[in-house]
């Protein structure tokens, strides 16, 4: 079914890689090019997963296996919309699949959000993970009071990373320029702020539990906000929330101390205004109460010192390269966008689910592709050969999977005894390495 199709996948993160894997399994003799604007594959596995969560990053080994198939190519350093257009891609391939994620932080929508010291989660995470386009996104961390808005795992990651010591990050792949700022920061207090109650937080129990192991920080929360008798109609949800509440109960017994920094887990607060001149100095918040499961403002306003504000409230897609975007995603029906054009992952459904969620999602879209293209390839579409010709004519220096393996090996060779790699954080350094090799 669909044998011999020529397919371009735009984006090499989990959604793109699972799409390639499913196509390779279900579509005999298909030709798959995976394009990425970066010189490195695997998207958020490299630039999104926390640098001290190396076990999670190990999923890249499964993606390596997909890339080892002779009919699958990685074509890095090709930017959709800048280097190549949608029209050109559709002239070259039978099928084009977009796996470009949701690369823009959602806005808080409050006054003062444009002040210095206010960052979206993606900007901040890309900075400490060494994304080449965000090398200088955070100029310093000379701050004493930080606030992280959001009650998901990304908020926990940001707080944990900026409170970590050099020793705690020794076995991570935290990039040097971020480590220097983090380890030298005079940070005294971090607050993770949620709009709803602790029972509504989306923390995983594992990540919430990691906070107790921080060497230089005490985790604190208000016992008055913890529900005493939590029940839920879904047994799995009830178990998870009760496990989280047990951790929060233990944290509520802690008190600030002179010899440690403080990490506060705050709930029932809505940001109102970032206060300061050009630089944020404090954050105004409204105290909430829960009515029928919703957070409702009480009218009580508090103001908390804040030199650094990181918002972890989700992501969205904006218009890029002529794609039809609606409500922060590519407009689609079950992954179909138009004739020969499909979308998978966060760009399809929004930023939800785990890495594994993308596998099922991508497999379902591949089934649609094969249903739509059961007649096989268009002999007029040149596929990979056409892309190579286009890149040569337009002087685009592409990066192959073999090139990536050289970069990967060089990063490992540069690392210390415990760290898995010392990342290149500038694309030009990677390209220079390849040209010298």
Q: Name the more confident of 250 and 4.
A: 250
Q: What is the mean pLDDT of residues 355-367?
A: 94
Residue 152 CB-half CA count within 13 A = 13
- The yes-or-no verdict on residue 138 having pLDDT over 80 is yes
- pLDDT confidence tier of residue 1, bands split at 50, 70 and 90: low
Q: What is the mean pLDDT of residues 148-169?
A: 97
pLDDT at residue 352 in the model:
85
Number of Cβ atoms within 10 Å of the Cβ of 175: 20
- The yes-or-no verdict on residue 249 having pLDDT over 60 is yes
Task: State how far Cα 41 lies from the chain centre.
Answer: 14
Domains of the chain: 6-103+317-436 (3.40.50.720), 105-314 (3.50.50.60)
Closest CA to 160 of 124, 113, 110, 202: 124
Four-CA torsion 178, 181, 186, 190, nearest 10 degrees:
-20
Portion of the chain with pLDDT greater than 90, in percent:
93
Q: What is the mean pLDDT of residues 287-297?
A: 93
- The yes-or-no verdict on residue 354 having pLDDT over 90 is no
Distance CA 437, CA 423 (A): 18
Structure tokens at 243: 């496990």
Q: What is the mean pLDDT of residues 45-60?
A: 96
């Amino acid at each position: 079914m669909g044998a011999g199709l020529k397919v371009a996948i735009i984006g090499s993160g989990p959604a793109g890689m699972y799409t390639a894997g499913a196509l390779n399994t279900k579509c005999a003799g298909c030709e798959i090019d995976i394009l990425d604007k970066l010189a490195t594959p695997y998207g958020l596995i490299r630039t999104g997963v926390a640098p001290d969560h190396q076990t999670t990053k190990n999923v890249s080994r499964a993606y390596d296996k997909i890339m080892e198939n002779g009919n699958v190519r990685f074509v890095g350093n090709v930017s959709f919309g800048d280097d190549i257009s949608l029209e050109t891609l559709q002239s070259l391939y039978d099928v084009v699949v977009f796996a470009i994620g949701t690369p823009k932080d959602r806005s808080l929508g409050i006054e003062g959000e444009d002040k210095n010291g206010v960052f979206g989660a993606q900007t901040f995470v890309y900075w400490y993970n060494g994304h080449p386009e965000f090398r200088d996104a955070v100029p310093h961390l000379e701050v004493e009071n930080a606030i992280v808005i959001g009650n998901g795992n990304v908020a926990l990651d940001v707080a944990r990373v900026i409170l970590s010591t050099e020793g705690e990050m020794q076995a991570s792949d935290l990039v040097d320029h971020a480590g220097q700022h983090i380890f030298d920061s005079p940070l005294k207090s971090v607050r993770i702020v949620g709009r709803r109650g602790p029972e509504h937080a989306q923390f995983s129990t594992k990540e919430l539990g990691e906070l107790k192991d921080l060497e230089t920080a005490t985790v604190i929360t208000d016992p008055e906000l913890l529900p005493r008798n939590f029940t839920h109609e879904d047994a799995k949800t009830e178990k998870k929330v009760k496990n989280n509440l047990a951790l929060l109960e233990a944290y509520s017994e802690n008190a600030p101390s002179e010899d440690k920094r403080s990490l506060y887990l705050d709930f029932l607060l809505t940001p109102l205004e970032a206060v300061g001149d050009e630089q944020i100095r404090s954050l105004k918040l409204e105290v909430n109460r829960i009515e029928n499961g919703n957070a409702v403002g009480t009218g009580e306003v508090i103001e908390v010192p804040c030199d650094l504000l990181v918002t972890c409230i989700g992501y969205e897609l904006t218009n890029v390269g002529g794609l039809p975007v609606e409500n922060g995603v590519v407009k689609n029906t079950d992954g179909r966008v138009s004739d020969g054009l499909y979308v998978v992952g966060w760009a399809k459904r929004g930023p939800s689910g785990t890495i594994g969620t993308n596998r099922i999602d991508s497999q379902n879209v591949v089934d649609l592709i094969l249903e739509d293209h059961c007649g096989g390839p268009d002999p007029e579409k040149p596929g990979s050969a056409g892309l190579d010709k286009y890149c040569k004519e337009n002087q685009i220096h592409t990066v192959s999977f073999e090139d990536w393996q050289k970069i990967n090996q060089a990063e490992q060779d540069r690392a210390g005894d415990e760290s898995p790699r010392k990342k290149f954080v500038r694309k030009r350094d990677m390209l220079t390495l390849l040209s010298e090799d």
